[in-house]
Amino acid sequence: DDTQQRPPMGPLLSISSLSKQYPRTQARAVNDVSFNLYSGEILALLGPSGCGKTTTLRMLAGFETPDTGSIHLKDRDITSLPPQKRHIGMVFQDYALFPHMTLAENVTFAMQQIARDQRYTKALEWLELVGLGDLADRFPEELSGGQQQRVALVRTLAAEPELVLLDEPFSNLDAGLRERTRKEMRRLFKKTGTSVVLVTHDQAEAMTMADRIGVMKDGDLLQLGPPQQVYREPANAFVAEFLGHTNLLEAQASGESAATPLGQVDLNAPAEGRVTLSLRPEHLALVPSDDSDSATVVDREFRGHDYFYVLQRGEQRYCAIVPNHEPLEVGDRVRLKAHRQASVLPAEQQRKH
Ligand code: ATP
């Protein structure tokens, strides 16, 4: 059959200046958020609790009406369409399957667009795609949490939505299962060319699942880019710290390097004058030394293939990740030395509102 997609002319989804304020609240839950999503792309909205990611997703799904702004899916303005007319599938945190229906029936239920006599075969294909073909005649309560999660997902995909929305989809799974499920889901989305907007507060989940990550805080979309880019070139200190441990250094830049409390450090981009740098803990070397300006190891955490160290130097704390040969002890004195470039954080921009 002809499921071949034409190359996209423009973005699949286009969100423009979306804002939302709930009654009886001081601030906007979502503040002038704009982004595009391209066909087949997985985009993660990442941020702490209350940053506005769920509200954004609910406006995409049609469960909330934006105060201002617009949402286009393909060429349609869907800003004020009811949810069922949007061709968008959503998987919620509590992916309730119908308990009295088998897995196959749960999936066929979503396939109203397909001729009735073809639904069961098609449902089996979907279940096989997530390794559950053999369990098609079981009931949801006879499955593990991870298996149920996969059924909920293929049930959504079986309706052939143009876009799939996921709200913290793996939060009910334990750590090991969560990691495996993420990998499987990403593989499934790529195999089926599914376009996805995923909401999470977990940076590891955003990094492993998404093609691009949008970092949100207090309703603002602070930065949008591929995982490597938001990690290596964070737009500000919040993004740098939300995507993992980092050392923020006040520095005096001159071209490709800067004077910092840790000595001269190479920069990822030329800069001049007073700047803030982000130096990841894995880019900091610890050299045993008893100089007067050495740092002291105040904490050490064994993490398998490396150690995570916390160091104190004067008033300042630093963190470093070092491969685990010859571990340092708490109380050891070391010199801190950047062995990779630090990222220059752009000067804080004026707030828009
Ligand atoms: P979480 O990860 O905790 O779900 P979130 O990033 O998804 O958080 P939202 O649920 O979008 O954030 O909430 C954004 C802001 O809007 C928060 O300050 C929240 O308290 C507020 N908010 C959310 N829903 C409502 C509501 N129905 N009425 C009033 N305020 C709300």
All domains of the chain in start order, with CATH: 13-238 (3.40.50.300), 245-345 (2.40.50.140)
Name which residue sits closest to atom 5 of ligand 1, judged by CA. 50
The β-bridge partners of 309 are 300, 320
Mean pLDDT computed over 152-167: 91
CA-closest candidate to residue 254, choices 283, 276, 274: 274
Tell me whether residue 234 is exposed, middle or buried, using C-beta atoms within 10 angstroms of its C-beta: 0 to 12, 13 to 18, 19 or more: buried
214 touches ligand 1 (CB under 6 Å): no
pLDDT on residue 146: 81
350: pLDDT strictly greater than 60: no
User: Mean pLDDT score of the chain, rounded to an integer?
Assistant: 91
In this predicted model, what pLDDT tens digit does every residue of 82-132 receive, in sequence order? 998 999 999 876 667 999 999 999 999 988 888 899 999 999 998 988 889
User: For residue 207, is pLDDT > 90?
Assistant: yes
| Calpha distance 62→206 (Å, rounded) | 23
* 86, 209, 9, 70 alpha-carbon torsion, rounded to 10°: 40
- pLDDT at res. 7: 52
pLDDT tens digits, 299-312? 999 988 899 999 99
Q: Has residue 150 got a pLDDT over 90?
A: no
Q: What CA–CA distance (Å, rounded) separates 337 from 322?
A: 12
6 C-beta neighbours (distance < 10 Å), count: 6
What's the whole-number mean pLDDT along residues 23-45? 96
Mean per-residue pLDDT, 251-261: 96
What are the angstrom distances between the C-alpha of 334 and each of 285, 286, 289, 294, 295?
9, 6, 5, 5, 5
Indicate the pairing of strand 163-167 with strand 284-288.
unpaired
Q: What is the value of pTM for the model shown?
A: 0.88
* Distance between Cα 169 and ligand 1 center (Å): 17
Residue 200 beta carbon below 6 angstroms from any ligand 1 atom: no
Region 144-171 average pLDDT: 88
Atom of ligand 1 nearest to the CA of 219: 14
Testing ligand 1's pocket by substitution, the residue of 33, 45, 46, 54 carrying the most ligand atoms inside 8 A of its CB is 54
Confirm or reject: Cβ of 51 under 6 Å from ligand 1. yes
Any atom of ligand 1 within 6 Å of the Cβ of 222: no
ipTM field: 0.94
